[in-house]
Amino acid sequence: MRTFLKLSVIAATLAVSSAPAQSQGIFGGIVKKATDAVSQKAQDKVNGKIDEISSKMVDNTFATVFGDSAKGGAPAAGAGSAFSMGGGATTESSYNFNVVTTMEIASSKSTSADGKAVLKMHFNTNEPYTGTLVMSNDPKQQGSAFVILDAKNKAMVMLMASDKSKFSMAYGWNDAQKFATANASAAPKAPPVNWDTVKVWNSYSKIGTKTIAGYSADGYRMETTNATVETWVSRDPRLSVGNMFAANSGLKQMKGRLPDDYPTGMLLQMNSTNKTTGESVSMTVTSVDTDAHVSYNMADYPKPGAAKK
């Protein structure tokens, strides 16, 4: 059967070369359509493979950033999820960052690779968004992801990059209003606090001052029946991004560890001990670049499928 098909193709080709011009046009059109069909099928297979790889990268990134429960393409799985499915949220044309902090997080109870983490968090002192660079330790996943929490557009943006391609995904961010500058300014304001003189604030007691990553920080301790928490915050005007720092509390490495509320300022260090489990967690900013010039252009990260149109 295959031999017959090959002979048929050869015959058709010879017929095209020996037929009159009008007939050649007809046969030529048939051959072109057949060739185009084969090319399209091959391209569809390539596109399908790209989509498959992209999907795996997104799933793995969700698991890396937000925990294993987010794996499987489930940014909106379950009621109350922080992100909305759809991938069509509005974004900025570019995201620019002028402050980059490096934070080391360690847990005494964990024996897995997740027990220690280094997060590079990016901020813009004039814009309500923050970005975190994620590098995968999985040798099978060759690439990186930059995750942006954009309170202005109520979007969570994932910029994915490998050695062969770049693409982006944008989801609705349901918790954005908690961190948007406009909403924060419109909310009822609490009485001003003189942090230079206050000794006790809510459940926190001031414990002193020290320098962390080159910045003066005030320390506060909170003690409950279940845990002891020490936080060190800086009110240096160059670090006026504390509100957006708190947006990162949903990251896997910080989830359930960052206090819901702590004294105003940029968190530079936190040490906590769970009295029930004995687990101790430390978060420390090891470096701060307040003269950073980092920019991500959305045009460089097209949405999957955009290049096929």
pLDDT tens by residue, 211-252 = 999 999 999 999 988 889 999 999 998 888 777 887 777 776
Contact by Cβ (8 Å): 159, 169: no
Greater confidence, 182 or 232? 232
Mean pLDDT of 92-115: 79
141-161 pLDDT, tens digit per residue, is 556 788 899 999 998 888 888
Measured distance CA(30)–CA(274) in Å, rounded: 74
User: Alpha carbon of 11 to those of 15, 22, 32, 36, 205: distances in Å?
Assistant: 6, 18, 16, 20, 92
User: What is the rounded distance in angstroms from the CA atom of residue 171 to the CA atom of residue 174?
Assistant: 9
Helices (H), the chain: 2-18, 21-66, 181-186, 242-245
Tokens 């069909």 belong to 37
User: 304 or 214: whose pLDDT is higher?
Assistant: 214
pLDDT of amino acid 176: 79
State the Cα–Cα distance between residues 274 and 288, nearest whole angstrom: 29
User: How confident is the model over 260-291, as pLDDT tens digits?
Assistant: 788 888 899 999 888 888 888 898 999 999 99
Percentage of residues in the chain having pLDDT higher than 90: 23
| C-alpha dihedral sign at 101, 102, 104, 105 | positive
**How many Å apart are CA 97 and CA 235, to the nearest integer?**
19
> Nearest CA to 172 among 153, 146, 148, 147?
153
Give the pLDDT score at 47: 47
